[in-house]
């Protein structure tokens, strides 16, 4: 299998229409473990519709709506799908997501980048998430690191390679303003895949081993959703509607059952963040940059 640059750039994606309800919104949050700390009532408006504060959708729910599925597995892509991992996710929020709506996701591939033989290739796709009434909710950029596809530009008589996305700033060396800890349930990946990413890497031990991991790893977007929850609980003081953008790099795999600690820095409306696995002491999500609607006290 070899990536065909032009075929990939031109790959058509049918618009994905989705009608989701407040039950889906609560299930999304529950799949990330929201609510497993019953003593923190600020979590309840994300998972329970009966509070005085109305139910809210976590902003990263946009990453599972209008999602085109695990299309990299289709033979026409030429991608060695077993070896791919999610590299980065960048989300720009135009309007807070309703807790239920009819939406449509429109996906296109914007960049294909050769990192060199033995290193990998990067595929960047962009999805516009819109309401069926034309409201723009979010623009999502997904960076896929295709570990098995490096050196494609030398194949097929020579192929182009696009410029990389602008680099994300690393987090500061100073102490973070906030930390927030999530206990990741052992079955978290089996639950999260039901949000629409059925990549067997997250469920099947044999596929995980073929990809070079001891066991199935957690979806990058599950870690991303947990970190978004941490941002909402800290810098947004529980108000999910304040988040305006959230960009981050997946720097190392996370395994279900581990403990995730998110660290957050704030300067005015700009946030920086990263997340570590406590048991192994390693950074798993880095280069986190976000913005919020107004500086919080
Ligand atoms: C297409 C269909 C869509 C499908 C979407 C995804 C579907 C999901 O089901 C899949 C998942 O959720 S996988 C789980 C989440 N992701 C991960 O666990 C990946 C963790 N990260 C890694 O393993 C390494 O960082 C790794 C392997 C990514 C890179 O490590 P190294 O090879 O050691 O990289 P390094 O030598 O440090 O750098 C080489 C060049 O690559 C750039 N880079 C590094 N990490 C990156 C990352 N995470 N994302 C994007 N680019 C990255 C570096 O900047 C460097 O670039 P340059 O040579 O230009 O300086």
Query: What pLDDT digit, counting tens, does each position of 166-210 carry?
Result: 999 999 999 999 999 999 999 999 999 999 999 999 999 999 999
Residues 158-168: what's their mean pLDDT? 96
Strands (E), 97-220: 101-114, 121-131, 136-146, 178-183
Q: Given this model, what pLDDT does residue 1 score?
A: 74
Mean pLDDT of 137-153: 97
Which residues are 263's β-sheet partners?
A: 179, 274
ipTM of the complex model: 0.98
Q: For the whole prediction, is pTM greater than 0.90? A: yes
248: Cβ below 6 Å to ligand 1? no
- 137 φ, ψ to 5°? -95, -45
Q: Is 86 in the pocket of ligand 1 (CB under 6 A)?
A: yes
With b meaning 16 or more CB within 10 Å and e meaning fewer, what string describes 41-63? eebbbbbeeeeeeebbbbbbbbb
pLDDT of residue 38: 63
Comparing C-alpha atoms, which of 248, 251, 255 is closest to residue 230? 248
Exposure string over 159-186, b if 16+ CB within 10 A, otherwise e? bebbeebeebeebeeeebebebebebbe
pLDDT value for 39: 67
Beta strands in 35-83 (DSSP E): none
Q: How many CA atoms lie within 13 A of 46 on its CB side?
A: 32
Of 145, 166, 210, 212, which is best to mutate to test ligand 1, by the most ligand atoms within 8 angstroms of its C-beta? 145
Q: 246 has which bridge partners?
A: 91, 290
C-beta of residue 64 within 8 angstroms of C-beta of residue 57: no
197 lines ligand 1 (CB under 6 A): yes
Q: What is the mean pLDDT of the chain?
A: 95
At 90, the pLDDT band (50, 70, 90 cuts) reads very high
Report the C-alpha gap between 98 and 95 in whole angstroms.
9
> What does the pLDDT read at residue 104?
98
Question: Would you state the pLDDT for residue 156?
Answer: 84
Residue pLDDT, tens place only, 32-87: 999 987 667 889 999 999 988 899 999 999 999 999 999 999 989 999 999 999 99
Task: Indicate whether 297 pLDDT > 80.
Answer: no
Place of tokens 């700390």: 37
Question: Considering all CA atoms of the chain, what is the largest pairwise distance in Å, rounded to the nearest integer?
Answer: 64
Pocket test for ligand 1, best of 8, 31, 63, 86 (most atoms within 8 A of CB): 86
Rg for the chain, CA atoms, rounded:
19
pLDDT, tens digit (0-9, with 9 covering 90-100), for 249-277? 999 999 999 999 999 999 999 999 999 99
């Amino acid at each position: 299998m070899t990536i065909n640059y032009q075929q990939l750039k031109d790959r058509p994606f049918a618009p994905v229409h989705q009608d989701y309800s407040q039950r889906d919104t609560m299930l999304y949050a529950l799949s990330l473990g929201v609510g497993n700390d019953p003593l923190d009532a600020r979590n309840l408006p994300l998972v329970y519709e009966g509070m005085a504060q109305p139910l809210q959708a976590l902003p990263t729910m946009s990453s599972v709506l209008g999602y085109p599925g695990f299309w990299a597995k289709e033979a026409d892509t030429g991608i060695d799908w077993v070896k791919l991992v999610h590299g980065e996710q960048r989300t720009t929020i135009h309007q807070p997501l309703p807790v239920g709506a009819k939406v449509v996701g429109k996906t296109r591939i914007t960049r294909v980048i050769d990192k060199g033989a033995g290193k990998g290739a990067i595929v960047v796709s962009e999805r516009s998430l819109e309401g069926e009434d034309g409201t723009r909710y979010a623009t999502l950029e997904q960076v896929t690191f295709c570990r098995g596809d490096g050196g494609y530009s030398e194949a097929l008589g020579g192929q182009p390679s696009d410029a990389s996305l602008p680099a994300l700033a690393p987090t500061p060396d100073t102490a973070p303003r906030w930390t927030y800890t999530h206990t990741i349930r052992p079955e978290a990946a089996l639950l999260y895949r039901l949000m629409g990413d059925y990549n067997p890497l997250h469920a099947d031990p044999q596929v995980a081993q073929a990809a070079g991991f001891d066991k199935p790893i957690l979806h990058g977007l599950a870690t991303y959703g947990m970190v978004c929850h941490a941002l909402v609980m800290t810098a947004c003081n529980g108000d999910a509607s304040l988040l305006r953008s959230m960009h981050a790099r997946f720097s190392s795999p996370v395994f279900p059952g581990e403990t995730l600690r998110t660290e957050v820095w704030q300067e005015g409306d700009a946030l920086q963040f990263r997340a570590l696995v406590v048991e192994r002491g390693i950074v798993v999500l880095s280069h986190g940059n976000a913005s919020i609607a107004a500086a919080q006290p």
